[in-house]
Structure 1
Amino acid sequence: MHAPAALRETVADVVHRTPVYDIHTHLYDPAFGELLLWGIDELLIYHYLIAESFRQFDLPYDKFWSMTKKQQADAIWQALFIDHSPISEACRGVLTVLNALGLDVKKRDLPALRQHFAKWQVGDFVTRCLDLANVRQVCMTNSPFDDLERPVWERGFTRDPRFVGALRIDPLLLDWPNTVPKLRAWGYDVSVDFGGQTFGEVRRFLGDWTKKIDAQYCMVSLTPEFAFPAHNDTAQLIQHAIMPHGREYGQAFALMIGVKRNVNPRLRLAGDSLGKADIMAVENLCSEFSDNKFLCTMLSRENQHELCVTARKFRNLHVFGCWWFLNNPSIIEEITRMRLELIGLSMTPQHSDCRVLDQLVYKWQHSRGLLGKVLADKYEDLAATGWEPTRAEIERDVHELFGGALERFLKS
């Protein structure tokens, strides 16, 4: 039988060495140029830090948004790293990145940090971050409705195999009346009242873009009020277009539920919040469309237990990630323990949700530490029963949790 210390060391080593398939990010293939965000200023003006900064500095919103990116980063650095200890998870993440890159954070020298990042070429920096994070593949968030992104796909480019696509369709499902003119301009014969061949044409649109970006799944971010079935555009489109498309292409539908948009619009992207959703919408979808596959993450901590219970009842549901406001160590540990106890290894405990390339480093370094701790506890529980986990079994399990289980689910 393993001694507890030896078992914990084995688990920590396996978790450290196992490459990750990061199943949801807001990163871009380097071919997208400036859409791929990276570097110290992007780290500092990330919306997590913007929202936190306004709790510290006395600065009008309009004044902040009139600043250059460098000036905004200077203000945030001063407020959160100089005037106060950078103790929040978002601040700690910045320091984890800098430390992993070999930079001396004790000097608190922002100009020197900028000089370091200025020396990098983007291609080299992508490789460096992926290596430091031990991430084998990154799943992007790709929207045909984004006027900056769509032209890149339309003219074509040489794909970086480390970056794979996911089809984001929020405007289609959440703003149908304003989406119809766009679809018509692109050659799809749709109507606001769903007359004629509208649903078939929406399916053709989804199929065209699934093939164009080689989408691993299609996805939408939904409010806490999301309900299914319902007498609204969203429900009709899901039932008559998204579900048939998913069955035709064997493509999962990812539901990210719980975001409340623009609670404080003066914070712009940082102004979103969350709310508890009704799990019945997920249960109804999984039950009514048993031949479809669903991915789901929910934003409210209060939804996590019932989401796990729902996953126990429906094998066509794959739970993933600690999304956004849940991405804090105490909550990640709690949720990961619960998921392992309720649904075992048939889930994906984490995704990075990165908007800045550098964040891959801290998101996965922090998450690996937490996952290693939780797994070691669980394997010790097994060892106490006489079941001795081998290194090969631990390697198999960690591979499942780091993307293997999801890949099998998507291909099933």
Structure 2
Amino acid sequence: MLSENQQTQFCLENLKDQKVNKDYQVKKWDEKKKKIVKVKIQITFTQDNQMIYQQEGVILRQEFNQDDFRDQEILTDMEQIQFLQWQGEYGPNQKKQGKWIAIWKGEMIEEVGGYYENGLKLGQWKQPSKSYWSQAQLYESGEYFLDQKLGRWNYIYDNQIIGGGSYDQAGGQNKIGYWIDYDDRFSNYRQVAHNGQYENGKKVGRWEIEYRYDNNYPFSKIGGGLYKDGLKHGQWTDLDEDFSEEKQVTHNGEYQNEIKVGRWDIEYRLNSEKLFTKIGGGQYVDGVKNSKWIELDEEFQNAKQVVLNGEYKNGKKMGRWDIEYRSYKIIIQIGNSGGGQYDDGVKIGNWIDLDEEFKYLKQIIHNGEYQNGKKVGVWVEMKRVWYLMEEGFKKVNEIKYDI
């Protein structure tokens, strides 16, 4: 299996050889949804060694790389693409040389940077982590030798060391021994760390997942499980991909060599609660959902406690699916028949959909017909006032879709 750096280099070589655009998924903060989402961008290399990031034809970033293009790191966070720049000098051989500093939104980041010698990082460095952005100013600090990390490296957040560990001395950049890794989606609202042992760059044994509400609280255990030769194995408590202060959701079940099997439960708690409560789940067969499931709406959070109830067949939704809404811990059905029918994973027939921004203070639904997953005919928009829920939903608008 290729490492992340090897995969990046492989992609860069292909881009250079083929002279084509390459699609990438990068992280972006969605202000409306209050969470990190994945968006697609394109990266292109030109004949004159320019690296161009663009989205839907709009150029986001354009760099000229005087070094070997294979040493160019691909940025995977939208804010870094737009706002992070490095500034320094090149030597007579067109390689980076001497002190280089980091620029964020046009201003120098204090005490961040390091030295190059003949295009290679050398000595002590402090640099933004791969997840650095406006809501997670997380740094990593340690020593480079000929562009390879070695020895002790620390993760720094809010001027405190919150994690890190050691790299081997052989120059292979393999993590060894005990590490506290920061979460890939670490932010002010998702302060999550992963603690455990590495052997030759692979996770082994028991790993704990810890979380804290904010900087004034200690980290506490919230999940974890066993790794076997770098793969999850046995019983695990995973955090939801969108786990945050407003969506404290875990998934609990069994892995067999990183593949989910058997019963998995979904559990949830409010900020004020210490214990998690089961609110959903279902069966996996070889990593694929099957049989009856209760799963969470994609935008589930404290203010939008919505669950979906129905059946999977070989990973695809089939038959009737119901939509249910919880006001605190009381389940309230959406309308008389919230939800509708699926055929081979595609919506068909009459449906009651939730508005994209549905939540406790904005209870809006849409009632109409699907044909092969597309809305057709007249769709009715209906609204219910949160403090008059017994009066039900009332029509507020109509939208007509072409057949």
Q: In terms of Rg, which structure is larger?
A: 2
User: Is TM more than 0.5 here?
Assistant: no
Higher helix share: 1
**Which one has the bigger strand percentage?**
2
Q: Please, what TM-score do these two structures have when normalized by structure 2?
A: 0.28
TM-score by length of 1: 0.27
